[in-house]
Each structure stands twice: as structure tokens, then as C-alpha cells.
Amino acid sequence: MRLRVDLIPKGPYSDVVVLIDVLRSCTVAPILFEQGLEKLYLCPSLRLARAVAKEQDYLLLGERGGLPPEGFNYGNSPAFFINTDFSGQSAVLVSENLPKAISNITGAKHLLLGSLYNAEAVIHKAFELASEEIALVCCGMLGSEDLDDSFTAGYLAARLKRADNKLELRGAAAMTLSLFRAFPNPLEALWHSRTGHYLRSLGLEEDLAISSYISQSEAVPGQRETIAHERANLYCFDTKL
């Protein structure tokens, strides 16, 4: 079996893709499901998110400039969500990097959301679903590679390689394994990333800390469907894989 790592989406993909946006959407997603959320819809458009949430009575989650936009219920902070009950609800999450990355994933049989926070669970699920390849794909920041996602890919790659030493390394797998070994403390890698600098400028250091926690959640969000709209797509995720 192949283990492929891409620092930004480069498709096409043939089997299982684990998409990584550790700061913060792929950390937030398992937390939301742990707190009882039923379905999560990812969307790049504020206008579409507002329309869908109003029509379906969904919660609106997301931020612009560090604050929830007008009419949104909550922002995008794992530090807040970790203590919030979402039982029986569905939500639309507006994110700049994750929906764009999903739009560039083609050919995958399964698309999972992975982070440090659900690392062991997503590794087990990837092995369970894969037949020929597991691709760890980083979202990056605004279309460019970033340290936080690359480090997380290295951590996941190291755990996958430890579980199956016969995995054939492809893409940036070897490089991210070296990057993982260069940062013994995950928080340090997140702290020094471009996204980490941005979040620290907003006073969101606690989000960095929570995003650095290893294997705290058993929730593995997987894509169920893509809902096409005129302005943008909605990507539906749940944990019923």
C-alpha cells in the first residue's frame, strides 16, 4: 500500500484522502461531533451559508478577521466548542482554506478530515477503508504550504508507518517525516506556522494549544455528499462511515 503526502492538494487521488487543516477546521470538526453535532456542511461563501442555514434551520459557524460575521451563531474556535452542546443539531461552517481544498480533491473514494486531535482514530479509519493508497493532503494557507499542516501530516505519516512498515512512501512523505522529527513538541510547530502567527495576533493562543493535543477524539468526519449551488458548493460531513 502507498502512503502519499501532498503539501497542498494536487490530485487526482485514487483511494482514501485524509485532508488536514489543523488550524482550525479539522480540529473543530471532530470536536463538534463529539459534542453531539449530527451533520456539518462546509462552505466558502457567507451568502450561501446564510441562505442555507436560514432555510434549513442550521447553526452558522465561522469567522472573518477573527470575529463571527453578522448573523452567525458562533465563530470557529475549538476552545469555545469544546464546552458547547450541539446535540441533535446540524451546522454550516464557513472556512476559507478547507472548502477550497475539498474542491481540488478529485477521484478519492473516501475523504476524511484529520488533525492531531483525532489522529489515532483517523489513522485506524484510513487503514480500514484503504485498498491501495492513503493520501495525507494538507490544506495550507491561502493556497500555499504551511508548517502547521505539514507537521501534522508528518505526525500522521509516522504513526501510519509505525503501524505498517511496508508502506511505500510517495510525494512529500519522507520530507514531512523529517519535519515531524524536528519538532518534538507539536505546539511549537503550530506556534511558528503562518496560521499560528495570525491566530496569535488575534489573541487566540488557546486555540493553538487545543489544536496541538494528540488523539483526544474518536470522531472521524467523512464526506457524505457534495451539494451544488450556483455560487458555491456545500460539502456534507458526518461520522457514520
pLDDT at 241: 83
Q: Cα separation of 103 and 100, whole Å?
A: 5
Q: What's the CA angle centered on 196, arms 66 and 210, to 5 degrees?
A: 85
Spatial CA neighbour of 150 closest among 2, 4, 3, 6:
6
pLDDT digits over 148-166, tens only? 999 999 999 999 999 999 9
Q: Considering the chain, what percentage of its residues have pLDDT values greater than 90? A: 93
pLDDT at 11: 84
Q: 2-238 in CATH: which number?
A: 3.90.1560.10
pLDDT at 231: 77
pLDDT digits over 116-149, tens only? 999 999 999 999 999 999 999 999 998 899 999 9
Residues 6+ apart with CB under 8 A from 134: 1, 2, 3, 4, 15, 16, 18, 126, 127, 160, 167
pLDDT at 115: 98
Residue 65's pLDDT band (cuts 50, 70, 90): confident
Q: Which sequence spans correspond to the domains of the chain?
A: 2-238
pLDDT digits over 73-87, tens only? 999 999 999 999 999
